[in-house]
Amino acid sequence: MYFPFLRGRQNELLAIRELLDEGLLTGKVIPVIEPIKETNTFEITLKQYIEKEYQLYLTLNTQVEDFEISPTLENLISESQSVFPALLMEDDDYVNYIPQLGELPSIVFYKNREDIDKKVELDKLHINPKISFITNNRDTRYFPNNEVGLYRDVFEKKKRNADYDSNTPEFYSDDHLYYREEGFVAFSDYSIVGEEYSTSGFAPMAVALHIVYFDEKEETMMIRHFVSDSNEDISNPAGKFSEALEKLVQWFLKESKDQDFKKLNHSSAMEEFVTLLDNKKYPGLGYVKKLSLKHHLEIMDRFLANDLND
């Protein structure tokens, strides 16, 4: 099982909502949302997961914003059989927060060894999460009686978009292949968004499109970065996007001549990238990030659904 850890930005919420609406999730990909703001998109996303009876987890003790859920949504969540609480142990006030969850946390995230030291408090409260996510394989020794998940940031973020290499594929992850034999019941990461969180926005000098894909031979997950060429200043973002998009589409259409590659990596989002190029349309960089995320989650869900060992 794959638990992508996402922040509650609009385009991240829209990505999982659209996948659900399009029938492209089988239940092998279960989002974990660290909400940042209670928006209409956030509410609709929760309601659709509840309506379709698909699992979703919320870390209501969010660490990136001062988030406080309204009584209306709190009641909606508490009465559902689809939306469940998760707990971030990096929160120093986590013990006081537990009674506010309405129910005991089903999954818990331990970011480092110091967080694991706090586990004794959960034991005192007789809290036994369904899955305890940790970032280090060696730390499984501290959870002898619990199911453990692997949790880490596998996206290597560069300081500038122009620093990404457009010509060379990079290794992204093989957790989907080996997490079970390493003793884990699930794995989690931050997808192509990365762990770093920032509220500041700025016009980029370069546009970079990040696309993950399965190697058709080894089935490891790789990543390609498609970067614009006219990166001298911040002017003409639509033109920069077009330059990067053309590289992406040419690469994907060429690789898709291999039927094994196409079977593993075809997605509705990639179809939309092709359409955007054909129509010479620039939808905005937030929309583009949504498509890259949708692509990742769709192909991962399909891979896990076809994996007889999952």
* HSE-CB of 113 using CA atoms within 13 angstroms: 4
Specify the 3-state DSSP secondary structure of 307: coil
**Per-residue pLDDT band at 172 (split at 50, 70, 90):** very high
Question: Does residue 271 have a pLDDT over 70?
Answer: yes
Instruction: Count Cβ atoms below 10 Å from residue 274 Cβ, excluding itself.
Output: 15
Query: pTM (2 decimals)?
Result: 0.92
Question: Does residue 179 have a pLDDT over 90?
Answer: yes
Q: What is the pLDDT of residues 219-261, one digit of tens each?
A: 999 999 999 998 877 878 899 999 999 999 999 999 999 999 9
Task: Give the C-alpha separation, 167 to 170, whole Å.
Answer: 10
Each residue of 96-125: b (16+ CB within 10 Å) or e? eebeebeebbebbbbbeeebbebbeebeee
Question: Does residue 308 have a pLDDT over 60?
Answer: no
Q: Where are the alpha helices (DSSP H) in the chain?
A: 10-21, 40-52, 71-78, 94-97, 113-116, 119-124, 175-178, 237-255, 259-265, 268-278, 285-305
> What's the whole-number mean pLDDT along residues 143-149?
86
Least confidently predicted of 5-19, 110-124, 174-188: 110-124
Is the Cβ–Cβ distance between 224 and 276 less than 8 Å?
no
Structural domain range at position 50: 5-305
Is the Cβ–Cβ distance between 153 and 190 less than 8 Å?
yes
Q: What is the pLDDT of residues 129-140, one digit of tens each?
A: 889 999 988 888
Q: Please report the pLDDT score of residue 251 as a whole number.
A: 96
Q: What is the pLDDT of residues 5-49, one digit of tens each?
A: 998 889 999 999 999 999 999 999 999 999 888 889 999 999 999
Domain tally for the chain?
1
- C-alpha closest to that of 94 among 69, 127, 55: 127
Structure tokens of 296?
């990742």
Question: Does residue 92 have a pLDDT over 90?
Answer: no
Question: Does residue 99 have a pLDDT over 60?
Answer: no
Q: What is the rounded average pLDDT for all residues in the chain?
A: 88
Q: Please report the pLDDT score of residue 310 as a whole number.
A: 57
How many angstroms separate the first and last alpha carbons of the chain? 7
Q: Please report the pLDDT score of residue 199 as a whole number.
A: 63
Question: Does residue 60 have a pLDDT over 80?
Answer: no
Each residue of 34-44: b (16+ CB within 10 Å) or e? bbbebeebbee
Question: Does residue 177 have a pLDDT over 70?
Answer: yes
Q: What is the pLDDT of residues 80-89, one digit of tens each?
A: 888 888 888 8
Q: Please report the pLDDT score of residue 102 as a whole number.
A: 53
Q: Is residue 310 part of a domain?
A: no
